[in-house]
Every structure is written in C-alpha cells, then in structure tokens.
Amino acid sequence: MKKRIIIVGGGASGLICALLVAEGDHEVILLEKNSRVGRKIRASGNGRCNITNRRVDPSCYFGHHPAFVHYALKQFSTDDLVRFFRKLGMEIVAVEDGRMFPMAMQALVVVAFLEYACRERGVRIETETAVEDVTKECGKFIVATGSGKMYADAVVLATGSTAAPALGADGSGWRIAKGLGHRLHDPFAVLVQLQSGDPFCRACKGVKLDAVITFEARDGTTYRVRGDLLFTDYGLSGLAILDISRFVSAALHRGETAAVTIDLLPDISYDALKKRLQKGRHQFGDLPPELWLSGILHQKVVAALLRKTGISERSARELSTKKIQTLAYMIKHLKIKIDATRGAKGAEVMAGGVDCHEVDPKTMESKLVKNLFLTGEILDIDGKRGGYNLHWAFASGYLAGRKLRGG
C-alpha cells in the first residue's frame, strides 16, 4: 500500500533517506526551511566537503550511548558510502590523513548528485518550508508548516542541531522530538573555537603554528593532540583546538574550570631546549632577548613570553640560569585558561540531543512513537573532526530510508 512519507530537513541525512524511500512505492515529501537543500554540506570542508574518512570506526564517536553507532557503521561503511555515490556518478578520493572528498573537490557536487537523484525518483522537495510542529492522531502524523498542515503515515526528523545558525540551523527538531515525548541530553558545542581572556592570546593574534595541546579533565583523564594552533583576539582556534574542544567543552558544560597547556616547540624536549637557550645566551649574548628568541619563535610570541615571564633584561647574557629555565618551561608548558567556547555560532557540531536509548539502532525508528524516525545530528551522537559527522548523517539516514522503503 502506498504511504506518504514526510522527511523534515534537506541535509545529508534527509537527502539520502528521501532517495532510498523513493525507490519504494511511496509518496515522498522532503521539507527544507532554507531556500535550497544541502546548505551545510555546501559549506563543509571549506567548500570541498570532507564526506567521510578512510578510518571510520565506532571509537571515533561520542555521546551517552556511543555504542549506538555500531550497527549503522557496519551496514554503511566507508566502502559502502563510496559505492553508493559511485552509482550516482560521483567519485570519491582519499588524501594522506585518511579524509575523503569528492574527486571534484567541490561540496556543491555532492548536493547536486543527491538532489538530482531524489527528483529523478519522484521526491517532492519543498524549500522555504519551515516545520513548526509534528503531532500524531489516530495513527497519522500532522505536520504543521507556516503554510498549513500536511498529513503523513511516517515522519523522519533529519533537522540537525543548532550548530552554525548562519546556515539555517535552529534546533527545531529537538523541540519537535521533545514534544513527541523524547528525552534530550543538553547540547553543547564541539569542534569549536575556545575563548580566553588571557592577554597572551590577543598579543599573539594572527600567529599560526604547529603545537601540541594538552587538556586534563577533573577526573584525571588527559587528552593530547597535535596540529595547527591559531591565536585570535577572542582566544584560540585552529585544527588542534577543534580536535580537543570536545573534551574542554564537555568539562565546561559540567561546570568545571578548564585550561589547556600548549607546547610551542613540540619537536624539541624541555631539557634540549634548556641547553640550547643556555648555549645561545653566551653565543649571542649581545643580542636583545626579543631578537635572539625570534630566531626560534614568532616575534609576537616572543614578546608575549617575555612579558609573561617578567624578563626585561637588555641583552641575552644578562639572563640568569633560573630565567632561562623559566623561559624554557613556559615555551613547553604555556597554560591558557579557557573561559568558554564560541558556542553554536562557531561550532561545526553540537554534542547532546535525543537519547539514543529511545531509538532503534537498526532502523532509527523511535521506540516511543511508531513510524517516527530520527537521524543524524538530532541524536546524541557526535564524531571527531575529519568526515566522521557527515558519515554518521549518511549512515543513519541510510538505515531509516532502507526501513521505510522496505527491504
């Protein structure tokens, strides 16, 4: 019997779900609040779309019930995703670190292939259609939009989270899911920049360097990442900061104080650095400390370090052994207190969302409301940076679509 399926949200999860459902004998309607579908996909990966990762694994995901992802990743692996898009006509390639992109290196082609396939299969795509509420009466769903009510046999909530509101995210799916009886874990921003009032950050604004960032949580768990670090007027950014932000943000969300420790010269040990500085103090004794140290570190960083350590000597030879040790330690263990994250406006993803214990991991169907499906970031699952979150959106949408299609 032909059913009407309404999918709320035209992102990665909603598009792949709609495409699959349309392969069955169903009427499929996809509702998108923005003027076009796939807006967040278009902006992903700096416009290139980091669509997945060669090393997608359950250990790359977080949440109150991270094991929830196991079945989805087994059913829709990296290889499955590559085959899926290849059948649509789009090739995917990997770069050295395992991240994967469309061969054209254009995010918009990902949307173009998905949208074309949906329309070819008869999906009715209605843009600029915001869903205000979803209720269920007598076995039918009532989907309320700004232009009226629509009725459906099944509804898929694929609305995403509140991350990147500039791209249209508003968290409406969470409100709708809660109204239908689902429990939510409070969301917090991840893959996000960190804010700090430490004057060191502002003094070094614009400086980008390779660093090791360490964060120790209150329970003693230590997290360490290496990568690009960018000092800004509001605090810290860069890939290494995005990578460690999940753990810092979680601590702040729990009401803990947080600080990160930065190793500004990760390729040299503390002892080796100390010896080099002690030797240089004599070898280049006539040089002002700020000039001497700029031979190994950015001038802005040097100036900030000298202020932070209270070094005001006019020549390198005037520095005492104790000040050399202090300077070496500061370079290897620069501690920056974190006041907050940049929140949803700066986040690529939000942690938290609908409790996964209330959703069937094999179909993404609600255990509380029959024929209600929840996919993607609306659920309490978030992944590492590097294509993991987009893969989760596709994998979860794939399972819901397969179930609704039949087979």
> Residue-wise pLDDT tens for the chain (407 aa)?
789 999 999 999 999 999 999 999 899 999 999 999 999 999 999 999 999 999 999 999 999 999 999 999 999 999 999 999 999 999 999 999 999 999 999 999 999 999 999 999 999 999 999 999 999 999 999 999 999 999 999 999 999 999 999 999 999 999 999 999 999 999 999 999 999 999 999 999 999 999 999 999 999 999 999 999 999 999 999 999 999 999 999 999 999 999 999 999 999 999 999 999 999 999 999 999 999 999 999 999 999 999 999 999 999 999 999 999 999 999 999 999 999 999 999 999 999 999 999 999 999 999 999 999 999 999 999 999 999 999 999 999 999 999 999 85
Tell me the backbone φ, ψ of residue 353, rounded to 5 degrees: 130, -160
Give the burial class of 51: count Cβ atoms within 10 A of its Cβ; 0-12 exposed, 13-18 middle, 19 or more buried: buried
Whether domain 4-189+348-405 has CATH 3.30.300.30: the reply is no
**CA-based torsion, 256, 262, 267, 270: positive or negative:** negative
Helix (H, G, I), strand (E, B) or coil at 166: helix
- Residue 110 tokens read as 């990902």
Among residues 176, 136, 144, the alpha carbon closest in space to that of 159 is found at 176
* CB contact at 8 A, 210 and 266: yes
Helices 78-88 and 107-120 cross at an angle (nearest 10°) of: 70
Domain ranges of the chain: 4-189+348-405, 193-342
Cα(166)–Cα(389) distance, integer angstroms: 19
Q: Is the pTM of this model over 0.75?
A: yes
Q: How far is CA 279 from the centre of its chain?
A: 44
- Any bridge partners for residue 262, and if so which? 213, 334
User: Which residues does 309 contact at the CB level (< 8 Å), separation at least 6?
Assistant: 323, 326, 327, 330
